[in-house]
Structure 1
Amino acid sequence: MRSSPEIYQREALAAPADESQMALQSIVILIVSVLSVLGAGWIILSFICFKALRSFRHQLILGLALSDFLMALNFLSSTAMNISGKEIGAREQKTFCSFNGFTTQVFVIQTDYWVLTIAMCTYVILAGHKSLSSWVQDQRILLSCLPWALSLLWAGIGLKLAGYGDIGAWCWFTSDKVRLLANFVPRWVIIIIILAMYARLYWILRKSHKSFISLGNSTSDPASGHRTTQGPMRSNHDAWRYYESDAAGRRKLQRIAKLMLMYPIVYMIVWTLPTAIRIYQTITHTPSPFALQTLDKACIVSQGLVDAVIYGINEVSLSQWRELVF
């Protein structure tokens, strides 16, 4: 009769093969978790300290940062237990493992919903859909509750239908196929949707900027014509100043839209390896090398750090911190 560790190893291909690998992987994931806690904490602290970072979009980003922060703390708890010798896969830790797996599922998919919500609201506002934009900004409570409601629902269904078990540094679905279908396929659908929206937004703003420049060149030339009265000359000068100001604003929006195109691309880079490993292990029923498994988990845990770079580090936040510190 096989021992339970052998059965576990057969069912959870993502789990390390022995205790030494388990300890090493837990240390690596703990370090990455700390970085994600710091990254998410940066966004949260910036929101608290600076009024300039409390816009509607920043409120949604705060929701994402809170999810990243709590998810990283969840990973910290499981890795700390493994390192301390209380392995989360042990029979006596079954309740903790179920809770840890449930929490993992909640926040992993919740971050996807937050990223999608941020992208949709950003698109609606910057693309010029005024009535829809006003409606969206009036539904802040609803938009803040939806990611929580949906993620809790799906995590509860997962707990009931599949259950959660030890996969190494934390607990989750032990089946690669279940994780692939329940998490990775929906995530890639969301990434593609976000990429399409930001590409469309960039095209809209680029087209709008070109049309505006063309219109400005044809109707507002401050060097043309000679005015005999001071009034018309001042009016023409004010119009040109307005044109330059509006043009600068449009260029800024275009730069922002171009930067936003990098968001889904970064997510694609982060999630390519974990997805490839899920597909490989689902098809072959063979565990991938330990180094790749550890890198796979590190990519997942780095979500808070990645989101901090994408959403938390920008000209406004850096300038606000410089003013506060210096």
Structure 2
Amino acid sequence: MDSNNIIPLNNNSRRCIFFNTDSDDNRCVVILTVKRATGTFSLIGCFFMLFVIWLLRRYHSLAQKMICSLTVAAFFDSVAYVMGDTHPEGSLCNFQAWWLTYFDWSALAWVCLITVNLYLNLVKEMSTSHYELLYHLMAWGVPLVMASLPLFSGYYGPAGAWCWITDDHVAWRFGIWYVPLFTLIFLMICCYARIIYVANERMQSWFGTFNPERERRKVSLAEEIKPLKWYPSVYLLVSLFPLINRLHNAFYPQDPVFSLTLLHVLSAPLHGLANAFVFGLDRDTWSQLSPTGIQLALQSRLCDRTRIGEYHPGAVRYTQAELGDFSDEDDDDTNVLFYSPDMTLKDRGP
């Protein structure tokens, strides 16, 4: 979440004190430009994701609401990466560092909770609709604690292209972010391995007379479990270079590597965006984003009155109860990603 220090000399020049202590270094400009471009791209991508969620009404079931919350966290996380170039010590710098830590943690928390929710649905066969409030308390509450600890300890300050935990507190960098991050990634990999194993077992256990609907669901299930292995992998990929760069800086603080720093600022802003795309834009969603599909969806969202001119034209307003709900709205979130005709979700209380 940080990169090498950049000290402003005046309005037109900057010096990267770790790259060149005697003269201006253009590598500073490259780092700041890439950081801002990546953050802006992430911001636009999250806004697009929120638009798609609104357009296609992907906010009814619990799993869809969780993906929406993940996208919101990723959106605000991206804002921190485009907050100016660098700030001197003070309240503004501390606020940027706190904001960045909070929403980085919030995006990570939602990714983990989506994984837990899927695990409970498929492996434990539990209905999790009554956990929604608990999920929100965890996803917004735990990051508040993690982001506030360095703030109250006075460890936030200038840390390169953005403010974060200063170079004098390397142990806090790893304790607050990197160690928990990779521990949770490892646990997510274990969860998805178990989820995929159980899903494959259930597919192979569907025996009996031929049932076209069951076979269709079997093929659909096989297609849906294929991308599961990419979920934790995406987070691992965008976190790997920041970790390597921070490890190198911890052992060689006076000898940073420009390429590692560049890869750091290139990948760090993509944490939430990458997972929002992976979780939110499945094959079915992409199929609805054709020009015709977008046009029909916009008409459905914006035009809620229909004229019927059979004998006596008149304005007719269709209500949701009259039309029925075909948007997967269901208070009991019956496992959005998986479906087995032989599986009944059991309401096993907390």
Regarding TM over 0.5, the answer is: yes
Q: Which residue of 1 aligns with 2:173?
A: 179
Which deviates more from structure 2 when the two are superposed, residues 48-57 or residues 166-175? Answer: 48-57
Percent sequence identity over aligned pairs: 21
Give the 5 Å matches for 1:228-243: 240=210, 243=211
1:209 and 1:250 in contact (8 A); partners too: yes
Separation (CA, whole Å) in 2 of partners of 1:249 and 1:24: 50
Contact 2:107 2:272 in 1 (8 A): no
Q: Which residue of 2 aligns with 1:325?
A: 295
1:96 aligns with 2:92: yes
Change (3 A) 1:49 1:268: same
- Counting only pairs closer than 5 Å after superposition, residues 121-270 of structure 1 correspond to structure 2 as 121-127=117-123, 129-130=124-125, 133-134=126-127, 136-175=128-167, 176-212=170-206, 215-216=207-208, 220=209, 240=210, 243-270=211-238
Q: 1:20 and 1:290, CA in 2 relative to 1: closer, same or farther beyond 3 A?
A: same
| TM-score, normalising length: structure 1 | 0.78
Unaligned runs of 5+ in 1: 7-12, 221-239
Distance 1:15 1:153 in 2: 32
* Aligned residue type for 1:145: L
Matched with 2:106 is 110
Find the aligned partners of 1:321 and 1:257 in 2 and give their Cα distance: 22
Of 1, 18, 23, which residue of structure 1 is paired with 2:29? 23
Measure how far apart 1:16 and its partner are.
Answer: 6.3
Matched, 1:37 2:43: yes
Query: Residue 169 of structure 1 aligns to a residue in which SS?
Result: coil
Q: Distance in 1 between matches of 2:72 and 2:214?
A: 35
TM-score, with structure 2 as normaliser: 0.73
Task: Answer whether contact 2:34 2:265 (CA < 8 A) is retained.
Answer: no
Checking the alignment, whether the CA contact within 8 Å between 2:192 and 2:229 is kept in structure 1 is: yes
In the alignment, the residues of structure 2 paired with residue 273 and residue 59 of structure 1 have an alpha-carbon distance, to the nearest angstrom, of 31
CA separation of 1:160/1:51 partners in 2, compared to 1, >3 Å: closer, same or farther? same
CA contact (8 A) 1:113 1:147 kept: yes
Q: Deviations 1:253-291 (Å, cap 9, x if unpaired)?
A: 233223111111222222111112222222333442123
Query: Structure 1, residues 67-114: CA drift from partner, whole Å, max 9, x if none?
Result: 11001112112xxx32xxxx41x35xx211010001111011111111
The number of aligned residues is 277
Q: 1:301–1:27: structure 2 CA closer, same or farther, 3 Å change rule? A: same
User: More displaced, 289-298 or 245-254?
Assistant: 245-254
Confirm or deny: 8 A CA contact 2:50 2:71 kept in the other structure: yes
Hey, what's the Cα distance between the residues in 2 that align with 1:250 and 1:124? 20
